[in-house]
Amino acid sequence: MRIALFDNYRIGIINGTTIRDVTNVVDKRWHGTPYVINELIAHWDELKSAVEAYVRTADEYPLAEVRLLPPIPRPGQLLAAPANYHAHVAEMTTSRYAPTSPQALQSPREVGFFVKASGSVSGPADPIELPPMPGRAFHHEVELGVVIGKTARGVSRERVRDHIFGYLCLLDITLRTEGKRQEERTMRKSFESFTPIGPFILTADEVADHASIGLKLWVNDELRQEANTRNLSVGIDELIEQASHVVTLQPGDIYATGTPEGVGPIEAGDVVRAEVDGMGELLLPVVERKW
Ligand code: MN
């Protein structure tokens, strides 16, 4: 199923070029709030069959006539893997923005995950807003995002898939600085609009093998990143196992699994397009932030 959020926090099931409103399967007190989707995910076992039944007669709209929101506007936790594709690590080692910290290019197996502010999440057509910070560059990173379904605490990697609700296309926009005076990674990746997600969540039952998913990113129609999750240094099962031994993962949490090679700068006026196999496309204008 392709589950999206639209207009005034309506839950929609996308089928081709239409979307059907199934918000009513979730308790009314969550309607009109961004948490309606967290609630659906948390109670998916009980609600899935209700969604499947309700969607047949639900109000239907052309996809082009609704405004798609980030499918999970308020993930409780937004975790991310650093340096998780070998070719990306190689390109960063020789980059002018090469990190000076000795941990920075080690794999998540060695150094674990980092955290992005949940407030950095934005929607599938929302502009990426670059803050006015002279001398800094802003890089695109396309990634597969994993959406947690069932609470995960101390989960072994063999059981991880039982805790995954679905997947989505995600960008991890990153401020980069040359030299030693680099800002905290958390802040560099947490500016508002620096985590575009969507346009929908693809439920896990439609993904045969999450270790074989292609992803691509273009800037102004020029292909910049193209890779497959089979090239991840540390696979998804191990990433989630590790994170679940650090902190309990909750329904609606998102784990960004790392970016492949080809990262590069974006500037106001650019258009960024990204797609993950079967998970639709983000289409994002880049603008200067106006305070
Ligand atoms: Mn990243």
**From the first residue on, what is the mean pLDDT of each consecutive set of 10 residues in the chain (291 residues)?**
98 97 98 98 97 96 98 98 86 82 81 97 98 93 98 98 98 90 91 98 97 97 96 97 98 96 96 98 96 72
Please report the pLDDT score of residue 182 as a whole number: 81
* Centroid of ligand 1 to alpha carbon of 82 (angstroms): 6
Please report the pLDDT score of residue 102 as a whole number: 64
**Nearest partner of 27 among 9, 38, 44, 39, judged by Cα:** 39
* Centroid of ligand 1 to alpha carbon of 10 (angstroms): 29
Whether 72 and 121 have beta carbons less than 8 Å apart is answered as yes
* Centroid of ligand 1 to alpha carbon of 265 (angstroms): 14
Please report the pLDDT score of residue 95 as a whole number: 84
In this structure, what is the dihedral angle of CA atoms 42, 43, 45, 48, given to the nearest 10 degrees? -110
* Centroid of ligand 1 to alpha carbon of 195 (angstroms): 10
**Nearest partner of 147 among 212, 70, 215, judged by Cα:** 70
* Centroid of ligand 1 to alpha carbon of 104 (angstroms): 12
Please report the pLDDT score of residue 30 as a whole number: 98
* Centroid of ligand 1 to alpha carbon of 81 (angstroms): 6
Whether 180 and 100 have beta carbons less than 8 Å apart is answered as yes
Please report the pLDDT score of residue 91 as a whole number: 84
* Centroid of ligand 1 to alpha carbon of 260 (angstroms): 9
Counting Cα atoms < 13 Å in the Cβ hemisphere of 82 gives: 22
Please report the pLDDT score of residue 45 as a whole number: 97
* Centroid of ligand 1 to alpha carbon of 60 (angstroms): 36
Give the CA radius of gyration of the chain.
18
* Centroid of ligand 1 to alpha carbon of 53 (angstroms): 38
DSSP letter string over 7-48? TTTEEEEEETTEEEE-GGGS-GGGTTSTTHHHHHHHTHHHHH
* Centroid of ligand 1 to alpha carbon of 70 (angstroms): 18
Domains of the chain and any CATH numbers:
2-69 (2.30.30.370), 78-288 (3.90.850.10)
* Centroid of ligand 1 to alpha carbon of 41 (angstroms): 25
* Centroid of ligand 1 to alpha carbon of 20 (angstroms): 33
- What protein residues have CB closer than 5 angstroms to ion ligand 1? 141, 172, 259
Please report the pLDDT score of residue 29 as a whole number: 98
Counting Cα atoms < 13 Å in the Cβ hemisphere of 20 gives: 16
* Centroid of ligand 1 to alpha carbon of 78 (angstroms): 12
Whether 241 and 109 have beta carbons less than 8 Å apart is answered as no
Please report the pLDDT score of residue 99 as a whole number: 77
Phi-psi region of 269 (alpha: psi -120 to 50; beta: other; left: phi over 0): left
* Centroid of ligand 1 to alpha carbon of 6 (angstroms): 26
Q: Which residues contact 261 (CB under 8 A, 6 or more apart)?
A: 85, 87, 88, 90, 91, 225, 227
* Centroid of ligand 1 to alpha carbon of 106 (angstroms): 13
